[in-house]
Amino acid sequence: MSERSREIRRRRHRTKKVAHFKNRASKASVSEKAVIATKLRDLTPGADTLIAAWQLEER
């Protein structure tokens, strides 16, 4: 598999996971939101933007 194909596969998987976390975050408790924020940080480099937009961590 070429590197470009791997990159596209990773991007599609990341998009699906981010959508899954977004759906879970709307119904999550405070502790679950913290877990989702941690997983997002591991998943994508733009996690801080998503965490702020979804208000997962109150600071």
pLDDT in tens, 3-36: 999 999 999 999 999 999 999 999 999 999 999 9
35 residue type, one letter: V
pLDDT over 90 (residue 57): no
Within-domain flag for 25? yes
Predicted local confidence at residue 59, as pLDDT: 61
pLDDT over 80 (residue 58): no
Predicted local confidence at residue 50, as pLDDT: 94
Within-domain flag for 45? yes
Indicate the pLDDT class of residue 1, thresholds 50, 70 and 90.
confident
Within-domain flag for 14? yes
The range of the structural domain enclosing residue 11 comes to 3-54
Within-domain flag for 59? no
The count of structural domains within the chain is 1
Query: Would you list the DSSP string of 36-51?
Result: HHHHHHHH-TTHHHHH
Predicted local confidence at residue 13, as pLDDT: 96
28 residue type, one letter: A
